Amino acid sequence: MLNNFFYPQSLALIGASESKGKVGHAVIKNIIDFGFPGKIYPVNPKAEKIMGISAYPSIEDIQESIDLCIMIIPPQAVLEAIEQCGKAGIHSIVIISAGFKETGTEGAKLEYDLINRAKKWNMRIIGPNCVGIVNTSARLNATFSANIPPKGDISIVSQSGAILTSIIDYAAGENTGFSKMISLGNEADITETEVLEFLGDDPDTNVIAGYIEGVKNGLEFVSVTKEVSKRKPIIILKSGNSNAGARAVSSHTGTLAGTEKAFKAAFIKSSIIRAGSIEELLGYAKSFSYQPIPEGDRLAIITNAGGPGILAADACDMSTIKMASFSNDTIKRLRESLPPLCSIYNPVDVVGDADVKRFSIALKTVAEDRGVDGLLVILTPQEMTDAKGTAQAVVDTFHEYGKTTFTSFMGKVSVKEGADFLDKNRIPNIFFPEKAVRCFEIMAQYKRGLERSSDEESSFPINKVKARDTIDNHLKRRIFTLGYEESKDIILSYDFPIPKSAVAQNTDEAVFYSGEIGYPVAMKIVSPDILHKTDVGGVVTRLKDRDEVRNAFEKMMSTVKRYMPNAFISGVSIQEMITDGKEVIIGFTRDQSFGPMLMFGMGGIYVEALKDVSFRLCPLNRFDADSMISEIKSFPLLKGIRGEKECDLRSLHDAIIKFSYLSIDFPEIIEGEINPLIVRPKGNGVIAIDSRFRLKEEI
């Protein structure tokens, strides 16, 4: 528990200083100026008093119990200070001092020692190399930033001190309220995940914002944030995406997956709201802080000018937000109560000469409509405009109907009084209507995320024991690359239908099996040494009769042997040809941090050339499977075009879910792929045509 960090009764500052310009001075001054109500013990061997408070030469000279210790001393002195704190029974330390891991090998060594020392004393540390922490709820400002935003219910955590400082400065200007602000520094001990978990339980925090560049443990991060975001929204700005780069792995899945993809998948899994910039981070946080989460995604726009109304409608059109369509009753009432020039459909245009009364009628009528989940009120300064009065009408309507409300009072100078009134009454007033629409969209998306189907596992007739046997068998024989023949028992065990097939050793067997299976058939070389069968002439399809089978068999044998004379060939597989359906690929790789990640895409060029794929972290539920399928651009092909029948999407969901279970059940599978998986027309299921797995070599 991090309670002592944020709600201390007493604190010590090692390195507090009387000299202006020193960090040790700035921090103690901020603590005093911000009105910290607990006891403060400055520690400085060279001073009697600091800022009028008795100073102590060392920690051991303080004979009182201390909840929190803040260190602003040279890095070399930190180890000794830790030791002293340990002896004094202090368990919560914020190390602002820099000069550790971030400076190179020597600093890293120092940080390593520091952590070991702290562990010995059962001590928790924020930092080092951080800006400090703020808790407005406890009147604690243990940072060197003097301009702290007012008290509020947003808490923010940052892996960059500079970004946190900028945000503090910006938010102070914007008057947005915050509860806790935490600079994580080097995360030698306490990580972003632990702080997010703490904020999830913190009653003073309703909205969590964060700036992160990476996470220490992906699986832990996902499991914690997934739970927290059910209780309160987490909005994160993640940077470093451009450094992702392409990993040079041979399989499709590996080639396309990467750190950025894993983060994207992790955020989806955790229902984390992703901000694209600092501005979005703060804008979204403020929206959630000020307004209730909307019941749905239907927005009504009320404006006193056409242009901005159109801009807002355009923004809805380009987003996932729906323009609310009013009930007949609403339209009737608007028609009766507004002048004829007004537009009574959405956007409602009360036109330029609208006074407060007209705005008010429109507001209440629209807010009462059950088909409206949120309101955006646009006001441009015109002749008759009463910005303050209209602001009052907006606030009244909000209090009466409780619908999520945004405003765009489009002026800086002339509407200031109204705008300030709105802000004071927690209506987010955003100059640009497009941005207000975006904030509403984010809130509606969060709501949808909360509603998404529960994570209950689907149940399938999976034979884990048989799959285990197959894998162990291969591992025992040191076979790590499994082609179709080697892996089909695994996918059969996971309830994947496969085409009828048999392995033929010679031409006669090939002809015999083809007759049993039924024409047309496909023929594929079986060899653990050949990964890309097509490239060596190892695949022939659409063989229509015995002659074609005979010829194909002989040709394949000679071609493959010419290309790969040393390959071990177990035979040739004769397969049933599936002549309907669409080819897709499902595969998984393991992200070092986030674990197994599933990829989905349409087969062939869609994956390779167009990179039209989607990723999710495993395991998946039906909601995940559905969203990852509809996310790809070529989704219409699965829905059916030109009057084609829709593909069996339900079975495709099942296939994706089962494959994700496989990745969880067998950590020794490094990567796996079913390619192609044919999704047949609705009602006819899927069928796995080819599969490949790679097993971990050291077991």
Binding site for its own copies (CB under 8 A): 23, 26, 98, 102-103, 144, 147, 158-163, 165-166, 169-170, 172-174, 211, 213, 237, 239-243, 276-279, 304-308, 310-311, 313-314, 316-318, 341, 352, 380-383, 410-415, 431-432, 434-435, 605, 608-610, 633-634, 636-637, 641-642
Question: Residue 357: how many CB atoms within 10 A of its CB?
Answer: 12
Q: What length does the chain have? A: 699
Tokens 């619908």, residue located? 403
Query: CB-wise, 184 or 655, nearer to its own copies?
Result: 184
205 near 153, Cβ under 8 Å?
yes
Write down the least CB distance from residue 288 to its own copies, Å. Answer: 20
Write down the least CB distance from residue 7 to its own copies, Å. Answer: 27
Write down the least CB distance from residue 697 to its own copies, Å. Answer: 29
Angle at 569 between CA 564 and CA 571, to 5 degrees: 135
Write down the least CB distance from residue 105 to its own copies, Å. Answer: 13
Q: How far apart are CA 207 and CA 376, in angstroms?
A: 22
Q: How far apart are CA 358 and CA 334, in angstroms?
A: 10
Q: How far apart are CA 485 and CA 505, in angstroms?
A: 14
Structure tokens at 683: 């009602």
Q: Which of 287, 312, 266, 322 is nearest to 432 (CA)?
A: 312
The set of residues, in sequence order, having a beta carbon less than 8 Å from that of 472 and lying 6+ positions away, is none
Q: How far apart are CA 682 and CA 28, in angstroms?
A: 69
Query: CB-wise, 382 or 506, nearer to its own copies?
Result: 382
Query: CB-wise, 378 or 471, nearer to its own copies?
Result: 378
Q: Which of 520, 575, 525 is nearest to 546 (CA)?
A: 520
Note the helical H segments in 15-147. Answer: 23-33, 75-87, 105-120
The set of residues, in sequence order, having a beta carbon less than 8 Å from that of 605 and lying 6+ positions away, is none
Write down the least CB distance from residue 444 to its own copies, Å. Answer: 18
Write down the least CB distance from residue 95 to its own copies, Å. Answer: 16
Query: CB-wise, 384 or 479, nearer to its own copies?
Result: 384
Write down the least CB distance from residue 369 to its own copies, Å. Answer: 21
- Rg over alpha carbons for the chain, rounded to the nearest Å, is 32
Query: CB-wise, 111 or 624, nearer to its own copies?
Result: 111
Q: How far apart are CA 182 and CA 191, in angstroms?
A: 11
Write down the least CB distance from residue 213 to its own copies, Å. Answer: 7
Query: CB-wise, 60 or 353, nearer to its own copies?
Result: 353
Q: How far apart are CA 634 and CA 612, in angstroms?
A: 7
Query: CB-wise, 223 or 239, nearer to its own copies?
Result: 239
438 near 297, Cβ under 8 Å?
no
User: What is the rounded (10 degree) CA torsion for 193, 197, 202, 206?
Assistant: 80
Question: Residue 33: how many CB atoms within 10 A of its CB?
Answer: 12
Query: CB-wise, 346 or 660, nearer to its own copies?
Result: 346
Write down the least CB distance from residue 210 to its own copies, Å. Answer: 12
Beta strand 151-158 with 501-504 is unpaired
Q: How far apart are CA 436 and CA 433, in angstroms?
A: 5
Write down the least CB distance from residue 151 to its own copies, Å. Answer: 18
Query: CB-wise, 498 or 647, nearer to its own copies?
Result: 647
The set of residues, in sequence order, having a beta carbon less than 8 Å from that of 120 and lying 6+ positions away, is 86
Write down the least CB distance from residue 488 to its own copies, Å. Answer: 26
Query: CB-wise, 278 or 577, nearer to its own copies?
Result: 278
Write down the least CB distance from residue 45 to its own copies, Å. Answer: 23
141 near 34, Cβ under 8 Å?
yes
Query: CB-wise, 243 or 506, nearer to its own copies?
Result: 243
299 near 323, Cβ under 8 Å?
yes
**Which residues, in sequence order, are bridge partners of residue 209?**
156, 235
Query: CB-wise, 33 or 516, nearer to its own copies?
Result: 33
Write down the least CB distance from residue 359 to its own copies, Å. Answer: 14
| Residue 251 three-state SS | coil
Write down the least CB distance from residue 491 to its own copies, Å. Answer: 26
Query: CB-wise, 340 or 461, nearer to its own copies?
Result: 340
Query: CB-wise, 485 or 612, nearer to its own copies?
Result: 612
Angle at 641 between CA 637 and CA 643, to 5 degrees: 145
674 near 496, Cβ under 8 Å?
yes
Write down the least CB distance from residue 70 to its own copies, Å. Answer: 16
Query: CB-wise, 382 or 453, nearer to its own copies?
Result: 382
Q: How far apart are CA 44 and CA 58, in angstroms?
A: 7
Q: Which of 244, 238, 252 is nearest to 210 (CA)?
A: 238
Residue 116's Cβ-count burial label (10 Å; 0-12, 13-18, 19+) is exposed
DSSP state of 215: -
Query: CB-wise, 570 or 634, nearer to its own copies?
Result: 634
Write down the least CB distance from residue 303 to its own copies, Å. Answer: 8
Cis peptide before 128 (omega within 30 of 0): yes
